Structure 1
Amino acid sequence: MNPAKIARFGDSERYFICPICHDALHLDGTSLRCADRHTFDIAKQGYVNLMPAAKQSPFYNKESFANRARILEAGYYDHIRDAVLDAIPSAADFAGPYSGERPAILDVGCGEGFYSRAVQRANPQVDVLAFDISKDSIQQAAREDTGMAVKWFVGNLADLPVRDGAIDCVLDVFSPINTAEFHRVMKDDAVVVKVVPGTHHDEQLRELAREQLRNTDYSNEHVIEQFCGHFDVLSMRTVSQTLAMPPADVRTFAHMTPLLFNADIDALDLTQISELTIEARIIVARK
Protein backbone atom coordinates (compact mmCIF):
# COMPACT_ATOMS: atom_id res chain seq x y z
CA MET A 1 0.00 0.00 0.00
CA ASN A 2 1.17 3.54 -0.77
CA PRO A 3 2.69 4.88 2.49
CA ALA A 4 0.80 8.18 2.04
CA LYS A 5 -2.51 6.33 2.31
CA ILE A 6 -1.42 5.19 5.77
CA ALA A 7 0.40 8.35 6.85
CA ARG A 8 -2.79 10.43 6.84
CA PHE A 9 -3.91 8.38 9.88
CA GLY A 10 -0.64 8.94 11.76
CA ASP A 11 -2.25 11.25 14.34
CA SER A 12 -5.43 9.20 14.75
CA GLU A 13 -5.37 9.47 18.54
CA ARG A 14 -6.15 13.20 18.14
CA TYR A 15 -9.44 12.45 16.43
CA PHE A 16 -10.66 8.87 16.44
CA ILE A 17 -12.19 6.65 19.09
CA CYS A 18 -13.07 2.99 18.93
CA PRO A 19 -16.72 2.50 17.89
CA ILE A 20 -16.92 -0.50 20.23
CA CYS A 21 -15.37 0.71 23.50
CA HIS A 22 -14.87 4.44 22.75
CA ASP A 23 -11.17 4.32 23.71
CA ALA A 24 -8.65 6.25 21.62
CA LEU A 25 -7.49 4.69 18.35
CA HIS A 26 -3.80 4.66 17.38
CA LEU A 27 -2.12 3.83 14.09
CA ASP A 28 -0.47 0.41 14.39
CA GLY A 29 1.08 -0.75 11.13
CA THR A 30 -1.72 -0.64 8.58
CA SER A 31 -4.53 -0.61 11.16
CA LEU A 32 -6.14 1.58 13.78
CA ARG A 33 -6.18 -0.15 17.15
CA CYS A 34 -7.37 0.72 20.66
CA ALA A 35 -5.99 -0.40 24.03
CA ASP A 36 -8.51 -3.25 24.10
CA ARG A 37 -7.05 -4.48 20.77
CA HIS A 38 -10.15 -3.74 18.72
CA THR A 39 -8.65 -3.42 15.26
CA PHE A 40 -9.76 -1.63 12.11
CA ASP A 41 -7.69 -2.12 8.98
CA ILE A 42 -6.90 0.65 6.52
CA ALA A 43 -8.32 -0.48 3.17
CA LYS A 44 -6.23 -0.43 0.00
CA GLN A 45 -8.20 2.61 -1.23
CA GLY A 46 -7.04 4.58 1.84
CA TYR A 47 -10.01 4.63 4.22
CA VAL A 48 -10.93 2.88 7.46
CA ASN A 49 -14.27 1.27 8.27
CA LEU A 50 -15.29 2.38 11.77
CA MET A 51 -18.80 1.01 11.39
CA PRO A 52 -18.29 -2.62 10.32
CA ALA A 53 -21.99 -3.49 10.64
CA ALA A 54 -23.18 -0.53 8.57
CA LYS A 55 -26.28 -1.12 6.45
CA GLN A 56 -26.75 1.36 3.65
CA SER A 57 -29.94 2.30 1.87
CA PRO A 58 -30.54 0.44 -1.41
CA PHE A 59 -30.90 3.85 -3.04
CA TYR A 60 -27.29 4.72 -2.16
CA ASN A 61 -25.25 2.19 -4.12
CA LYS A 62 -22.26 2.22 -6.47
CA GLU A 63 -24.41 3.22 -9.44
CA SER A 64 -26.03 6.05 -7.48
CA PHE A 65 -22.69 7.49 -6.38
CA ALA A 66 -21.23 7.09 -9.88
CA ASN A 67 -24.17 9.12 -11.22
CA ARG A 68 -23.60 11.76 -8.55
CA ALA A 69 -19.93 11.96 -9.44
CA ARG A 70 -20.74 12.48 -13.13
CA ILE A 71 -23.13 15.34 -12.32
CA LEU A 72 -20.72 16.97 -9.88
CA GLU A 73 -17.73 16.65 -12.20
CA ALA A 74 -19.79 18.23 -15.01
CA GLY A 75 -19.84 21.44 -12.96
CA TYR A 76 -23.53 21.76 -12.14
CA TYR A 77 -22.82 22.19 -8.42
CA ASP A 78 -19.71 24.36 -8.76
CA HIS A 79 -21.54 27.47 -7.50
CA ILE A 80 -22.54 25.60 -4.34
CA ARG A 81 -19.02 24.23 -3.91
CA ASP A 82 -17.62 27.77 -4.27
CA ALA A 83 -20.12 29.11 -1.71
CA VAL A 84 -19.03 26.39 0.73
CA LEU A 85 -15.38 27.30 0.19
CA ASP A 86 -16.23 30.97 0.77
CA ALA A 87 -17.96 30.03 4.02
CA ILE A 88 -15.19 27.82 5.37
CA PRO A 89 -12.50 30.51 5.96
CA SER A 90 -14.90 32.82 7.79
CA ALA A 91 -16.56 29.92 9.56
CA ALA A 92 -13.26 28.29 10.42
CA ASP A 93 -11.56 31.45 11.68
CA PHE A 94 -10.16 29.33 14.47
CA ALA A 95 -9.88 31.83 17.29
CA GLY A 96 -8.78 29.62 20.14
CA PRO A 97 -5.21 28.76 21.18
CA TYR A 98 -4.26 25.54 19.39
CA SER A 99 -0.58 25.26 20.37
CA GLY A 100 0.44 24.81 16.77
CA GLU A 101 -2.00 21.96 16.15
CA ARG A 102 -3.72 21.78 12.78
CA PRO A 103 -7.41 22.74 12.89
CA ALA A 104 -9.87 20.03 11.88
CA ILE A 105 -12.92 20.07 9.63
CA LEU A 106 -15.41 17.18 9.74
CA ASP A 107 -17.50 16.56 6.60
CA VAL A 108 -20.71 14.81 7.66
CA GLY A 109 -22.30 12.42 5.14
CA CYS A 110 -19.63 13.25 2.58
CA GLY A 111 -20.91 10.89 -0.14
CA GLU A 112 -18.42 10.53 -2.98
CA GLY A 113 -16.21 13.23 -1.42
CA PHE A 114 -16.70 16.14 -3.84
CA TYR A 115 -16.81 18.83 -1.13
CA SER A 116 -14.22 17.18 1.15
CA ARG A 117 -11.59 17.11 -1.58
CA ALA A 118 -12.35 20.72 -2.56
CA VAL A 119 -12.08 21.92 1.05
CA GLN A 120 -8.79 20.08 1.57
CA ARG A 121 -7.29 21.48 -1.64
CA ALA A 122 -8.32 25.02 -0.65
CA ASN A 123 -7.16 24.60 2.98
CA PRO A 124 -4.02 22.42 2.95
CA GLN A 125 -3.14 23.65 6.45
CA VAL A 126 -6.29 22.00 7.87
CA ASP A 127 -7.02 18.33 8.65
CA VAL A 128 -10.15 17.20 6.81
CA LEU A 129 -12.04 14.18 8.18
CA ALA A 130 -14.87 12.86 6.03
CA PHE A 131 -17.33 10.04 6.56
CA ASP A 132 -20.45 8.43 5.25
CA ILE A 133 -22.50 5.43 6.35
CA SER A 134 -22.13 4.04 2.82
CA LYS A 135 -19.01 1.95 2.28
CA ASP A 136 -19.50 2.24 -1.50
CA SER A 137 -19.34 6.04 -1.34
CA ILE A 138 -16.25 6.10 0.89
CA GLN A 139 -14.45 3.65 -1.36
CA GLN A 140 -15.13 5.92 -4.31
CA ALA A 141 -14.19 9.04 -2.36
CA ALA A 142 -10.86 7.61 -1.22
CA ARG A 143 -10.10 6.27 -4.69
CA GLU A 144 -10.55 9.75 -6.19
CA ASP A 145 -8.40 11.44 -3.52
CA THR A 146 -5.18 11.76 -5.51
CA GLY A 147 -3.71 14.04 -2.83
CA MET A 148 -4.17 11.24 -0.28
CA ALA A 149 -4.75 13.82 2.46
CA VAL A 150 -8.38 13.46 3.61
CA LYS A 151 -8.99 11.07 6.51
CA TRP A 152 -11.84 8.98 5.03
CA PHE A 153 -13.89 6.64 7.20
CA VAL A 154 -17.17 4.77 7.29
CA GLY A 155 -19.09 6.04 10.31
CA ASN A 156 -22.43 6.37 12.01
CA LEU A 157 -23.90 9.86 12.51
CA ALA A 158 -25.77 8.59 15.55
CA ASP A 159 -22.53 7.55 17.30
CA LEU A 160 -19.55 9.27 15.70
CA PRO A 161 -16.17 7.55 16.29
CA VAL A 162 -14.67 10.98 17.00
CA ARG A 163 -13.25 12.34 20.26
CA ASP A 164 -15.11 14.92 22.34
CA GLY A 165 -14.14 18.49 21.42
CA ALA A 166 -11.83 17.49 18.57
CA ILE A 167 -13.42 19.41 15.69
CA ASP A 168 -13.13 23.09 14.77
CA CYS A 169 -15.67 23.13 11.93
CA VAL A 170 -18.45 20.73 10.94
CA LEU A 171 -19.48 20.74 7.28
CA ASP A 172 -22.94 19.32 6.56
CA VAL A 173 -23.97 19.42 2.89
CA PHE A 174 -27.48 18.05 2.25
CA SER A 175 -27.10 15.58 5.14
CA PRO A 176 -29.13 15.01 8.33
CA ILE A 177 -28.39 16.86 11.56
CA ASN A 178 -27.51 15.15 14.83
CA THR A 179 -27.34 18.09 17.21
CA ALA A 180 -26.09 16.12 20.22
CA GLU A 181 -23.23 14.51 18.30
CA PHE A 182 -22.33 17.77 16.55
CA HIS A 183 -22.06 19.54 19.91
CA ARG A 184 -20.11 16.67 21.46
CA VAL A 185 -17.35 16.55 18.85
CA MET A 186 -17.09 20.34 18.35
CA LYS A 187 -14.71 22.56 20.31
CA ASP A 188 -16.32 25.26 22.44
CA ASP A 189 -15.80 27.98 19.81
CA ALA A 190 -16.32 25.68 16.82
CA VAL A 191 -18.61 26.47 13.91
CA VAL A 192 -20.83 24.54 11.53
CA VAL A 193 -21.53 25.15 7.83
CA LYS A 194 -24.95 23.71 6.98
CA VAL A 195 -26.15 23.44 3.35
CA VAL A 196 -29.87 22.89 2.71
CA PRO A 197 -31.65 22.57 -0.67
CA GLY A 198 -33.33 25.83 -1.65
CA THR A 199 -37.01 26.33 -2.42
CA HIS A 200 -36.43 26.25 -6.19
CA HIS A 201 -34.00 23.34 -6.17
CA ASP A 202 -34.82 20.83 -8.94
CA GLU A 203 -38.11 22.61 -9.56
CA GLN A 204 -38.27 21.52 -13.22
CA LEU A 205 -38.01 17.84 -12.26
CA ARG A 206 -40.45 18.29 -9.40
CA GLU A 207 -43.03 19.80 -11.73
CA LEU A 208 -42.57 16.98 -14.24
CA ALA A 209 -42.99 14.32 -11.53
CA ARG A 210 -45.74 16.17 -9.65
CA GLU A 211 -48.29 13.33 -9.91
CA GLN A 212 -45.83 10.84 -8.41
CA LEU A 213 -44.56 12.97 -5.53
CA ARG A 214 -46.06 12.67 -2.07
CA ASN A 215 -45.45 16.35 -1.32
CA THR A 216 -45.74 18.81 -4.18
CA ASP A 217 -44.65 21.75 -2.02
CA TYR A 218 -40.91 21.83 -1.45
CA SER A 219 -39.60 23.58 1.63
CA ASN A 220 -36.83 22.91 4.12
CA GLU A 221 -37.84 25.69 6.50
CA HIS A 222 -38.53 23.18 9.26
CA VAL A 223 -34.95 21.87 8.91
CA ILE A 224 -33.58 25.41 9.05
CA GLU A 225 -35.73 26.29 12.07
CA GLN A 226 -34.58 23.17 13.90
CA PHE A 227 -30.96 23.95 13.10
CA CYS A 228 -31.24 27.60 14.15
CA GLY A 229 -32.75 26.49 17.45
CA HIS A 230 -29.54 24.70 18.43
CA PHE A 231 -26.82 26.98 17.02
CA ASP A 232 -26.09 30.70 16.93
CA VAL A 233 -26.44 31.71 13.28
CA LEU A 234 -23.71 34.01 11.96
CA SER A 235 -24.82 34.27 8.33
CA MET A 236 -27.27 32.81 5.83
CA ARG A 237 -27.31 33.15 2.04
CA THR A 238 -28.99 31.55 -0.96
CA VAL A 239 -27.03 30.51 -4.04
CA SER A 240 -28.92 29.56 -7.18
CA GLN A 241 -28.25 28.93 -10.86
CA THR A 242 -30.47 27.61 -13.64
CA LEU A 243 -28.23 25.68 -16.00
CA ALA A 244 -28.72 24.20 -19.46
CA MET A 245 -28.45 20.42 -19.33
CA PRO A 246 -28.20 17.96 -22.25
CA PRO A 247 -30.58 14.96 -22.30
CA ALA A 248 -27.96 12.46 -21.11
CA ASP A 249 -27.19 14.57 -18.05
CA VAL A 250 -30.89 15.08 -17.32
CA ARG A 251 -31.35 11.32 -17.23
CA THR A 252 -28.27 10.85 -15.04
CA PHE A 253 -29.53 13.56 -12.69
CA ALA A 254 -32.99 11.98 -12.49
CA HIS A 255 -31.44 8.67 -11.43
CA MET A 256 -29.17 10.43 -8.92
CA THR A 257 -31.47 12.79 -7.03
CA PRO A 258 -33.19 11.60 -3.83
CA LEU A 259 -36.23 13.55 -5.02
CA LEU A 260 -37.11 10.71 -7.40
CA PHE A 261 -36.00 7.71 -5.36
CA ASN A 262 -39.60 6.49 -5.10
CA ALA A 263 -40.72 7.65 -8.54
CA ASP A 264 -41.07 5.68 -11.77
CA ILE A 265 -38.47 7.56 -13.79
CA ASP A 266 -39.24 5.58 -16.96
CA ALA A 267 -42.77 7.01 -16.86
CA LEU A 268 -41.44 10.58 -17.03
CA ASP A 269 -40.87 12.34 -20.34
CA LEU A 270 -37.45 13.72 -19.49
CA THR A 271 -37.13 15.23 -22.97
CA GLN A 272 -39.32 18.07 -21.67
CA ILE A 273 -36.42 19.24 -19.49
CA SER A 274 -33.51 21.16 -20.99
CA GLU A 275 -32.41 23.06 -17.88
CA LEU A 276 -32.40 22.60 -14.11
CA THR A 277 -32.26 24.99 -11.18
CA ILE A 278 -29.63 24.07 -8.59
CA GLU A 279 -30.23 26.08 -5.41
CA ALA A 280 -29.07 25.91 -1.80
CA ARG A 281 -29.12 27.85 1.46
CA ILE A 282 -25.70 28.18 3.09
CA ILE A 283 -25.90 28.71 6.86
CA VAL A 284 -22.86 29.48 9.01
CA ALA A 285 -23.40 29.09 12.74
CA ARG A 286 -21.46 28.79 15.99
CA LYS A 287 -21.81 26.22 18.72
Structure 2
Amino acid sequence: MNPAKIARFRDSERYFICPICHETLHLDGASLRCPNRHTFDIAKQGYVNLAPAAKQSPFYNKASFENRARILEAGYYDDIRDAVLDAVGRYLNPRAAILDVGCGEGFYARAVQRANPAADVLAFDISKDSIQQAAREDATMAVRWFVGNLADLPVRDDAIDCILDVFSPVNAAEFHRVMKDDAIVIKVIPGVHHDEQLRELAREQLRNADYSNEHVIEQFREHFNVLDMRTVSRTFAMAADDVHTFAHMTPLLFNVDIDALDLAQISELTIEARIIVARK
Protein backbone atom coordinates (compact mmCIF):
# COMPACT_ATOMS: atom_id res chain seq x y z
CA MET A 1 0.00 0.00 0.00
CA ASN A 2 1.15 3.54 -0.74
CA PRO A 3 2.65 4.85 2.54
CA ALA A 4 0.79 8.16 2.08
CA LYS A 5 -2.52 6.33 2.41
CA ILE A 6 -1.41 5.16 5.86
CA ALA A 7 0.36 8.40 6.86
CA ARG A 8 -2.90 10.37 6.83
CA PHE A 9 -3.87 8.40 9.98
CA ARG A 10 -0.57 8.96 11.80
CA ASP A 11 -2.14 11.31 14.37
CA SER A 12 -5.32 9.29 14.87
CA GLU A 13 -5.20 9.76 18.64
CA ARG A 14 -6.10 13.44 18.05
CA TYR A 15 -9.45 12.52 16.56
CA PHE A 16 -10.50 8.89 16.59
CA ILE A 17 -11.98 6.66 19.27
CA CYS A 18 -12.82 2.98 19.11
CA PRO A 19 -16.44 2.40 18.04
CA ILE A 20 -16.61 -0.60 20.39
CA CYS A 21 -15.15 0.66 23.69
CA HIS A 22 -14.65 4.39 22.92
CA GLU A 23 -10.98 4.31 23.94
CA THR A 24 -8.44 6.28 21.88
CA LEU A 25 -7.30 4.79 18.58
CA HIS A 26 -3.62 4.86 17.56
CA LEU A 27 -1.95 4.02 14.28
CA ASP A 28 -0.20 0.65 14.57
CA GLY A 29 1.36 -0.48 11.31
CA ALA A 30 -1.45 -0.42 8.76
CA SER A 31 -4.22 -0.51 11.37
CA LEU A 32 -5.89 1.63 13.99
CA ARG A 33 -5.84 -0.06 17.39
CA CYS A 34 -7.15 0.85 20.85
CA PRO A 35 -5.68 -0.17 24.24
CA ASN A 36 -8.22 -3.01 24.39
CA ARG A 37 -6.74 -4.40 21.15
CA HIS A 38 -9.79 -3.72 19.01
CA THR A 39 -8.24 -3.41 15.56
CA PHE A 40 -9.42 -1.72 12.36
CA ASP A 41 -7.33 -2.22 9.24
CA ILE A 42 -6.67 0.54 6.73
CA ALA A 43 -8.06 -0.68 3.40
CA LYS A 44 -6.00 -0.61 0.23
CA GLN A 45 -8.03 2.37 -1.03
CA GLY A 46 -6.92 4.38 2.02
CA TYR A 47 -9.90 4.37 4.38
CA VAL A 48 -10.75 2.62 7.65
CA ASN A 49 -14.07 0.98 8.53
CA LEU A 50 -15.12 2.22 11.98
CA ALA A 51 -18.68 0.93 11.66
CA PRO A 52 -18.16 -2.71 10.66
CA ALA A 53 -21.69 -3.76 11.67
CA ALA A 54 -23.47 -0.88 9.93
CA LYS A 55 -26.08 -1.62 7.29
CA GLN A 56 -26.23 0.70 4.30
CA SER A 57 -29.47 1.58 2.56
CA PRO A 58 -30.06 -0.35 -0.68
CA PHE A 59 -30.65 3.01 -2.36
CA TYR A 60 -27.09 4.13 -1.57
CA ASN A 61 -25.23 1.51 -3.56
CA LYS A 62 -22.21 1.57 -5.85
CA ALA A 63 -24.26 2.46 -8.94
CA SER A 64 -25.99 5.32 -7.10
CA PHE A 65 -22.68 6.89 -6.06
CA GLU A 66 -21.20 6.44 -9.53
CA ASN A 67 -24.21 8.32 -10.93
CA ARG A 68 -23.75 11.03 -8.32
CA ALA A 69 -20.09 11.37 -9.24
CA ARG A 70 -20.97 11.86 -12.92
CA ILE A 71 -23.46 14.61 -12.08
CA LEU A 72 -21.05 16.35 -9.70
CA GLU A 73 -18.15 16.15 -12.15
CA ALA A 74 -20.39 17.69 -14.85
CA GLY A 75 -20.47 20.90 -12.80
CA TYR A 76 -24.12 21.09 -11.79
CA TYR A 77 -23.24 21.47 -8.10
CA ASP A 78 -20.21 23.74 -8.50
CA ASP A 79 -22.10 26.80 -7.21
CA ILE A 80 -22.99 24.95 -4.01
CA ARG A 81 -19.41 23.70 -3.65
CA ASP A 82 -18.10 27.26 -4.08
CA ALA A 83 -20.51 28.58 -1.44
CA VAL A 84 -19.27 25.92 0.98
CA LEU A 85 -15.65 26.84 0.26
CA ASP A 86 -16.48 30.51 0.79
CA ALA A 87 -17.99 29.75 4.21
CA VAL A 88 -14.97 27.65 5.19
CA GLY A 89 -12.65 30.48 4.15
CA ARG A 90 -14.59 33.15 6.04
CA TYR A 91 -15.23 31.35 9.31
CA LEU A 92 -12.30 28.98 9.85
CA ASN A 93 -8.57 29.28 10.33
CA PRO A 94 -6.37 27.48 7.77
CA ARG A 95 -5.46 24.65 10.18
CA ALA A 96 -9.00 23.82 11.27
CA ALA A 97 -10.24 20.28 11.90
CA ILE A 98 -13.24 19.74 9.61
CA LEU A 99 -15.59 16.74 9.77
CA ASP A 100 -17.72 16.03 6.68
CA VAL A 101 -20.71 13.96 7.82
CA GLY A 102 -22.45 11.74 5.28
CA CYS A 103 -19.80 12.67 2.73
CA GLY A 104 -20.99 10.29 0.01
CA GLU A 105 -18.49 10.00 -2.83
CA GLY A 106 -16.37 12.76 -1.25
CA PHE A 107 -16.95 15.67 -3.65
CA TYR A 108 -17.08 18.37 -0.97
CA ALA A 109 -14.40 16.91 1.35
CA ARG A 110 -11.89 16.70 -1.50
CA ALA A 111 -12.69 20.29 -2.55
CA VAL A 112 -12.25 21.57 1.01
CA GLN A 113 -8.92 19.75 1.38
CA ARG A 114 -7.62 21.09 -1.95
CA ALA A 115 -8.58 24.65 -1.01
CA ASN A 116 -7.26 24.32 2.55
CA PRO A 117 -4.19 22.05 2.41
CA ALA A 118 -3.19 22.83 6.02
CA ALA A 119 -6.59 21.76 7.39
CA ASP A 120 -7.33 18.34 8.85
CA VAL A 121 -10.29 17.02 6.87
CA LEU A 122 -12.10 13.94 8.17
CA ALA A 123 -14.96 12.51 6.11
CA PHE A 124 -17.30 9.58 6.63
CA ASP A 125 -20.39 7.87 5.37
CA ILE A 126 -22.24 4.80 6.55
CA SER A 127 -21.94 3.38 3.03
CA LYS A 128 -18.73 1.45 2.46
CA ASP A 129 -19.31 1.67 -1.31
CA SER A 130 -19.24 5.47 -1.17
CA ILE A 131 -16.15 5.64 1.05
CA GLN A 132 -14.24 3.23 -1.20
CA GLN A 133 -15.02 5.48 -4.15
CA ALA A 134 -14.18 8.66 -2.21
CA ALA A 135 -10.79 7.35 -1.07
CA ARG A 136 -9.98 6.01 -4.51
CA GLU A 137 -10.58 9.44 -6.06
CA ASP A 138 -8.52 11.32 -3.44
CA ALA A 139 -5.40 12.35 -5.36
CA THR A 140 -4.08 14.31 -2.37
CA MET A 141 -4.20 11.21 -0.15
CA ALA A 142 -4.80 13.68 2.69
CA VAL A 143 -8.45 13.28 3.71
CA ARG A 144 -9.01 10.86 6.60
CA TRP A 145 -11.78 8.71 5.11
CA PHE A 146 -13.74 6.31 7.29
CA VAL A 147 -16.97 4.37 7.41
CA GLY A 148 -18.88 5.73 10.38
CA ASN A 149 -22.25 5.85 12.08
CA LEU A 150 -23.85 9.27 12.63
CA ALA A 151 -25.61 7.92 15.71
CA ASP A 152 -22.31 7.06 17.43
CA LEU A 153 -19.43 8.98 15.90
CA PRO A 154 -15.99 7.38 16.44
CA VAL A 155 -14.59 10.86 17.16
CA ARG A 156 -13.19 12.33 20.38
CA ASP A 157 -15.08 14.89 22.44
CA ASP A 158 -14.28 18.55 21.66
CA ALA A 159 -12.03 17.67 18.70
CA ILE A 160 -13.68 19.36 15.72
CA ASP A 161 -13.64 23.02 14.59
CA CYS A 162 -16.27 22.62 11.87
CA ILE A 163 -18.89 20.09 10.89
CA LEU A 164 -19.80 20.11 7.21
CA ASP A 165 -23.25 18.65 6.63
CA VAL A 166 -24.32 18.65 2.98
CA PHE A 167 -27.78 17.17 2.39
CA SER A 168 -27.30 14.82 5.37
CA PRO A 169 -29.25 14.41 8.63
CA VAL A 170 -28.33 16.31 11.79
CA ASN A 171 -27.55 14.51 15.03
CA ALA A 172 -27.39 17.53 17.35
CA ALA A 173 -26.25 15.58 20.41
CA GLU A 174 -23.32 13.94 18.61
CA PHE A 175 -22.45 17.17 16.81
CA HIS A 176 -22.26 19.05 20.12
CA ARG A 177 -20.18 16.29 21.71
CA VAL A 178 -17.43 16.31 19.08
CA MET A 179 -17.41 20.08 18.44
CA LYS A 180 -15.11 22.50 20.24
CA ASP A 181 -16.84 25.26 22.20
CA ASP A 182 -16.47 27.84 19.40
CA ALA A 183 -16.97 25.39 16.53
CA ILE A 184 -19.32 25.99 13.62
CA VAL A 185 -21.63 23.92 11.45
CA ILE A 186 -21.96 24.51 7.73
CA LYS A 187 -25.32 22.97 6.88
CA VAL A 188 -26.60 22.63 3.30
CA ILE A 189 -30.25 21.79 2.66
CA PRO A 190 -32.27 21.66 -0.56
CA GLY A 191 -33.89 24.92 -1.62
CA VAL A 192 -37.61 25.12 -2.28
CA HIS A 193 -37.03 25.04 -6.05
CA HIS A 194 -34.48 22.22 -6.00
CA ASP A 195 -35.32 19.57 -8.62
CA GLU A 196 -38.70 21.23 -9.16
CA GLN A 197 -38.96 20.04 -12.77
CA LEU A 198 -38.50 16.40 -11.73
CA ARG A 199 -40.79 16.91 -8.74
CA GLU A 200 -43.54 18.16 -11.01
CA LEU A 201 -43.04 15.27 -13.44
CA ALA A 202 -43.32 12.72 -10.62
CA ARG A 203 -46.07 14.58 -8.73
CA GLU A 204 -48.57 11.69 -8.84
CA GLN A 205 -46.07 9.32 -7.24
CA LEU A 206 -44.70 11.67 -4.57
CA ARG A 207 -46.17 12.01 -1.10
CA ASN A 208 -45.13 15.68 -0.98
CA ALA A 209 -44.62 17.17 -4.42
CA ASP A 210 -44.23 20.69 -3.00
CA TYR A 211 -41.12 21.11 -0.84
CA SER A 212 -40.51 23.53 2.02
CA ASN A 213 -37.33 23.62 4.08
CA GLU A 214 -38.59 26.02 6.77
CA HIS A 215 -39.28 23.26 9.31
CA VAL A 216 -35.74 21.95 8.83
CA ILE A 217 -34.32 25.43 9.46
CA GLU A 218 -36.45 25.91 12.58
CA GLN A 219 -35.35 22.55 13.99
CA PHE A 220 -31.73 23.49 13.27
CA ARG A 221 -32.18 26.81 15.09
CA GLU A 222 -33.23 24.95 18.22
CA HIS A 223 -29.72 23.52 18.57
CA PHE A 224 -27.39 26.05 16.94
CA ASN A 225 -26.92 29.82 16.74
CA VAL A 226 -27.34 30.76 13.07
CA LEU A 227 -24.74 33.28 11.90
CA ASP A 228 -25.43 33.43 8.18
CA MET A 229 -27.77 32.01 5.59
CA ARG A 230 -27.77 32.31 1.82
CA THR A 231 -29.49 30.68 -1.14
CA VAL A 232 -27.64 29.40 -4.19
CA SER A 233 -29.84 28.70 -7.20
CA ARG A 234 -29.24 28.04 -10.87
CA THR A 235 -31.27 26.41 -13.65
CA PHE A 236 -29.23 24.38 -16.09
CA ALA A 237 -29.97 23.15 -19.58
CA MET A 238 -29.46 19.41 -19.18
CA ALA A 239 -28.77 16.80 -21.83
CA ALA A 240 -30.98 13.72 -21.94
CA ASP A 241 -28.18 11.44 -20.68
CA ASP A 242 -27.61 13.69 -17.69
CA VAL A 243 -31.34 13.83 -16.93
CA HIS A 244 -31.41 10.03 -16.91
CA THR A 245 -28.34 9.85 -14.66
CA PHE A 246 -29.73 12.47 -12.30
CA ALA A 247 -33.08 10.70 -12.02
CA HIS A 248 -31.33 7.49 -10.99
CA MET A 249 -29.24 9.13 -8.27
CA THR A 250 -31.49 11.71 -6.59
CA PRO A 251 -33.14 10.71 -3.28
CA LEU A 252 -36.24 12.55 -4.48
CA LEU A 253 -37.06 9.58 -6.73
CA PHE A 254 -35.91 6.70 -4.51
CA ASN A 255 -39.50 5.47 -4.06
CA VAL A 256 -40.69 6.42 -7.53
CA ASP A 257 -41.10 4.14 -10.56
CA ILE A 258 -38.66 6.03 -12.78
CA ASP A 259 -39.51 3.90 -15.81
CA ALA A 260 -43.04 5.29 -15.63
CA LEU A 261 -41.77 8.86 -16.02
CA ASP A 262 -41.35 10.50 -19.41
CA LEU A 263 -37.91 11.96 -18.73
CA ALA A 264 -37.82 13.32 -22.29
CA GLN A 265 -40.04 16.15 -20.97
CA ILE A 266 -37.12 17.41 -18.86
CA SER A 267 -34.65 19.64 -20.70
CA GLU A 268 -33.58 21.81 -17.79
CA LEU A 269 -33.24 21.36 -14.05
CA THR A 270 -32.98 23.77 -11.13
CA ILE A 271 -30.26 23.09 -8.56
CA GLU A 272 -30.90 25.12 -5.42
CA ALA A 273 -29.65 24.99 -1.85
CA ARG A 274 -29.68 26.98 1.38
CA ILE A 275 -26.24 27.27 2.99
CA ILE A 276 -26.49 27.89 6.73
CA VAL A 277 -23.54 28.77 8.93
CA ALA A 278 -24.17 28.32 12.65
CA ARG A 279 -22.19 28.19 15.90
CA LYS A 280 -22.38 25.61 18.64
Amino acid of the structure 1 residue aligned with 2:118 = Q
Please show how residues 195-210 of structure 1 align to structure 2 within 5 Å. 195-210=188-203
Please state if 1:91 is matched with 2:91.
Answer: yes
Please state if 1:251 is matched with 2:244.
Answer: yes
Give CA deviations for 1:110-168 in whole Å, capped at 9, x if unaligned. Answer: 00000000000000010000000000000000000011000000000000000000000
Amino acid of the structure 1 residue aligned with 2:203 = R
Structure 2, unpaired ranges of 5+: none
Please state if 1:121 is matched with 2:97.
Answer: no
Please show how residues 46-125 of structure 1 align to structure 2 within 5 Å. 46-93=46-93, 102-125=95-118
Post-superposition offset of 1:103: 2.2
Post-superposition offset of 1:200: 0.1
- Tell me how far apart the structure 1 counterparts of residues 238 and 276 of structure 2 sit (CA, whole Å): 28
Amino acid of the structure 2 residue aligned with 1:163 = R
Post-superposition offset of 1:190: 0.5
Give CA deviations for 1:55-105 in whole Å, capped at 9, x if unaligned. Answer: 0000000000000000000000000000000011222248xxxxxxx4200
Amino acid of the structure 2 residue aligned with 1:67 = N
- Tell me how far apart the structure 1 counterparts of residues 91 and 174 of structure 2 sit (CA, whole Å): 19
Give CA deviations for 1:252-278 in whole Å, capped at 9, x if unaligned. Answer: 000000000000101100000100000
Q: Which residue of 2 aligns with 1:169?
A: 162
Q: Name the SS for the 1:278 alignment partner.
A: strand
- Tell me how far apart the structure 2 counterparts of residues 272 and 31 of structure 1 sit (CA, whole Å): 51
Amino acid of the structure 2 residue aligned with 1:33 = R
Q: Which residue of 2 aligns with 1:42?
A: 42
Q: Name the SS for the 1:256 alignment partner.
A: coil
Q: Name the SS for the 2:6 alignment partner.
A: helix
Q: Name the SS for the 2:18 alignment partner.
A: coil
How does the TM-score come out when normalised to structure 1?
0.97
Alignment check: 8 A CA contact 1:103 1:126 kept: yes
Please state if 1:144 is matched with 2:133.
Answer: no
Q: Name the SS for the 1:227 alignment partner.
A: helix
219-228 or 253-262, which moves further after superposition? Answer: 219-228
> What is the RMSD computed on CA atoms of the aligned residues?
0.8
- Tell me how far apart the structure 2 counterparts of residues 198 and 91 of structure 1 sit (CA, whole Å): 23
Amino acid of the structure 2 residue aligned with 1:235 = D
State how many pairs are aligned.
280
Alignment check: 8 A CA contact 1:91 1:192 kept: no
| Identity, % of aligned positions | 84
Please show how residues 215-234 of structure 1 align to structure 2 within 5 Å. 215-234=208-227
Post-superposition offset of 1:178: 0.2
Please show how residues 250-269 of structure 1 align to structure 2 within 5 Å. 250-269=243-262
Q: Which residue of 1 aligns with 2:149?
A: 156
12-21 or 221-230, which moves further after superposition? Answer: 221-230
Q: Which residue of 1 aligns with 2:17?
A: 17
Amino acid of the structure 1 residue aligned with 2:120 = D
Amino acid of the structure 1 residue aligned with 2:125 = D
Amino acid of the structure 2 residue aligned with 1:217 = D
- Tell me how far apart the structure 2 counterparts of residues 270 and 14 of structure 1 sit (CA, whole Å): 49
Structure 1, unpaired ranges of 5+: 95-101
How does the TM-score come out when normalised to structure 2?
0.99
- Tell me how far apart the structure 1 counterparts of residues 215 and 69 of structure 2 sit (CA, whole Å): 29
Stretches of 4+ aligned residues off by more than 6 angstroms: none
20-29 or 84-93, which moves further after superposition? Answer: 84-93
Alignment check: 8 A CA contact 1:91 1:169 kept: no
- Tell me how far apart the structure 1 counterparts of residues 244 and 212 of structure 2 sit (CA, whole Å): 24
Amino acid of the structure 2 residue aligned with 1:66 = E
